[in-house]
């Protein structure tokens, strides 16, 4: 049975019983990281791939594998990293915090209204709870989906005219979660960089021609958003000039390219983040 410890949260002072997860060695024997008493518990404020794993040697066969480092999610929202003994070394906790204490009871209290977390404990996002350390980090780690609720699939509008392009962009902004998106006024004659769509929190420019959007268009959209205290979003059918792409990255302007099916595709980091998080 895995060893149990008491964990005091340094953020809220809450006291929790914690039992380290047990994993199956290749030989079939159970293995578990060994908690280190008297070493401060650390809130997790930054994650790196190497710190998510701990080396544990099986006492039955001597095999050493990498297993997820134990963590505890406190109800106050703080994630605590449990200091454990590396194989042949000492505990990994450093800095200031609240130390672990061995429980007076022989085991963790049974589950109840005030019991601690489940024996499995929380696992770092994206890590397999029962598998060893993979060969290396993934090539791409997608942004987390933090929208208030899952969005249904976007239903595009086929683009046949410039009017259709603006309508398709409006539908997409509403799908992202922007409310009250409407067409902007006609504006003053001779002002080619007037925004096409606006809402309480967003302004948008749509370039429906066969020319790539230029840097001036991006900067004018940014100024319109700044004046309206809203996010500027750009849609183009023909893409963007290189200097426009670089300037949009500097200003944090999401850029999308639309095909004739009316489906926008993000082309820079700000657009990827907007699709991931929603409005």
pLDDT digits (tens, 9 = 90+) for 4-37: 778 888 888 888 887 777 878 878 888 888 887 7
**102 pLDDT above the threshold of 60:** no
Burial class (CB in 10 A: 0-12, 13-18, 19+), 246: middle
**146 pLDDT above the threshold of 50:** no
**207 pLDDT above the threshold of 90:** yes
Average pLDDT over residues 110-138: 42
pTM of the model: 0.47
Q: What is the predicted pLDDT for the residue at 185?
A: 67
Distance (Å, rounded) from C-alpha 126 to C-alpha 192?
Answer: 47
**244 pLDDT above the threshold of 90:** yes
Average pLDDT over residues 229-235: 95
Q: What is the predicted pLDDT for the residue at 87?
A: 61
User: Structural domain boundaries of the chain?
Assistant: 1-141, 162-184+191-277
Q: What is the predicted pLDDT for the residue at 74?
A: 81
**259 pLDDT above the threshold of 80:** yes
Average pLDDT over residues 214-229: 92
- For 10-23, b where at least 16 C-beta lie within 10 A, e where not — what string? beeeeebbbbbbeb
**67 pLDDT above the threshold of 70:** yes
**61 pLDDT above the threshold of 50:** yes
Model confidence band, residue 100 (pLDDT cutoffs 50, 70, 90): low
Question: Token pair of 254, please?
Answer: 């999401």
Q: Assign a CATH topology to domain 162-184+191-277.
A: Trna Endonuclease; Chain: A, domain 1 (3.40.1350)
Model confidence band, residue 50 (pLDDT cutoffs 50, 70, 90): low
Helix (H) or strand (E) holding 244: helix 242-251
Greater model confidence, 213 or 53: 213
Top-ranked range on mean pLDDT: pick from 45-49, 57-61, 114-118, 272-276: 272-276
Question: Token pair of 215, please?
Answer: 């840097």
Greater model confidence, 6 or 191: 6
């Amino acid at each position: 049975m895995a060893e149990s410890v008491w964990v005091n949260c340094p953020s809220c002072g809450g006291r929790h019983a914690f039992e380290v997860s047990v994993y199956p060695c290749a030989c079939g024997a159970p293995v578990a990281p060994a908690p280190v008493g008297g070493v401060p518990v650390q809130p997790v404020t930054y994650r790196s791939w190497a710190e998510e794993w701990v080396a544990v040697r099986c006492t039955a066969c001597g095999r050493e594998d990498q297993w997820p480092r134990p963590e505890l999610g406190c109800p106050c929202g703080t994630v605590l990293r449990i200091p454990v003994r590396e194989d042949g070394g000492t505990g990994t906790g450093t800095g200031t915090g609240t130390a672990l204490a061995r429980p007076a009871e022989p085991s963790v209290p049974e589950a109840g209204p005030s019991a601690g977390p489940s024996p499995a404990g929380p696992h770092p996002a994206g890590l397999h709870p029962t598998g060893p350390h993979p060969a290396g980090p993934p090539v791409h780690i997608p942004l987390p989906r933090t929208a208030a609720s899952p969005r249904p699939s976007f239903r595009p509008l086929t683009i046949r005219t410039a009017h259709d392009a603006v309508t398709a962009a409006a539908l997409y902004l509403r799908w992202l979660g922007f409310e009250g998106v409407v067409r902007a006024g006609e504006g003053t004659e001779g002002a080619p960089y007037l925004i096409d769509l606006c809402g309480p929190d967003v302004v948008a420019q749509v370039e429906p021609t066969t020319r790539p959007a230029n840097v001036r268009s991006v900067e004018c959209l940014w100024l319109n958003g700044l004046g309206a205290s809203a996010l500027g979003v750009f849609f183009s059918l023909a893409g963007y000039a290189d200097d426009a792409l670089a300037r949009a990255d500097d200003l944090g302007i999401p850029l999308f390219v639309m095909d004739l099916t009316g489906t926008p595709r993000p082309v820079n980091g700000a657009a990827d983040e907007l699709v991931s998080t929603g409005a």
